[in-house]
Amino acid sequence: MKIHCLGVICVTAAGFFFDISATEWCICLILFGLILGLELVNTAVEAVVDLVTEEKKPLAKLAKDTAAGAVLIAAIMAAFAGVIIFLPKAAQLFVG
């Protein structure tokens, strides 16, 4: 969660620096909410699985891995969206 919050701060700073459009802000905000929300769901799933069983069970591992995978997929897609939004703006700094 700390890493995701740091990402939110960095993307917000980049958004102000590059003066992104209202639509781009909306995309970033939706992705912030999606990733942070999924991280909370992942934490909840892990807590419930730990509450239910202390022994190693394949289904418990599957539940934890699947929840973590959902966060990972959302983060990867958010990174792609970030590249689409910020790369052209960053390239303009170097090209002129």
Residue 19, burial from CB neighbour count under 10 angstroms (0-12, 13-18, 19+): exposed
Output the six-digit token pair for 48.
Answer: 């419930």
CA nearest to 75, candidates 32, 43, 46: 32
What's the pLDDT score for residue 54? Answer: 84
What's the pLDDT score for residue 82? Answer: 97
Annotated catalytic residue: which of 24, 39, 54, 55? Answer: 39
What's the pLDDT score for residue 95? Answer: 86
Q: Is 39 a catalytic residue?
A: yes
What's the pLDDT score for residue 7? Answer: 93
What's the pLDDT score for residue 96? Answer: 66
pLDDT in tens, the chain (96 residues): 899 999 999 999 999 999 999 999 999 999 999 999 999 999 999 999 999 988 889 999 999 999 999 999 999 999 999 999 999 999 998 886
The CATH number corresponding to 2-95 among 1.20.1280.290, 3.20.20.70, 1.10.287.3610, 3.90.420.10 equals 1.10.287.3610
What's the pLDDT score for residue 17? Answer: 96
